[in-house]
C-alpha cells in the first residue's frame, strides 16, 4: 500500500464524507445515492457521513436518499 504524504490535501471522499448544499432535487438526490452506492461497493471508507445543509426541496427526492440510507 502506498504511503501518503501527511501534508497532502485529502478529499472528502477519502474521509467517507458526502456534503450536500442547496435544495434537494432529483438530480442532487441521484448524485447522493450514486455516491453512497459507490462507497459501499468500494469499501474504501469505514463509515459514510452525510452532511446536509439544505433549505428544502422536493419531498420525493429527499425520501429517495432516506430510503437508500435505510
DSSP of 10-36: PPHHHHTEEEEES-B-HHHHHHHHHHH
Q: What's the pLDDT at 11?
A: 87
Share of the chain above pLDDT 90, in %: 61
**Max Cα distance, the chain (Å):** 43
Structure confidence by residue, pLDDT tens digits, 23-39: 999 999 999 999 999 99
Q: What's the pLDDT at 70?
A: 80
Question: pTM to 2 decimals?
Answer: 0.78
- CB under 8 Å, gap of 24 or more: what pairs does 9-13 form? 13/44, 13/45
What is the distance, to the nearest Å, from the Cα of residue 55 to the centroid of all Cα atoms in its chain? 18
Give pLDDT < 70 ranges for the chain: 1-7
Amino acid at each position: 500500500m502506498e504511503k501518503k504524504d501527511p501534508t497532502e490535501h485529502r478529499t472528502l471522499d477519502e474521509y467517507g464524507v458526502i456534503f450536500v448544499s442547496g435544495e434537494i432535487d432529483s438530480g442532487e438526490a441521484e448524485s447522493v445515492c450514486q455516491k453512497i452506492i459507490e462507497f459501499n461497493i468500494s469499501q474504501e471508507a469505514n463509515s459514510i457521513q452525510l452532511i446536509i445543509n439544505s433549505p428544502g426541496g422536493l419531498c420525493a427526492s429527499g425520501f429517495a436518499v432516506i430510503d437508500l440510507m435505510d
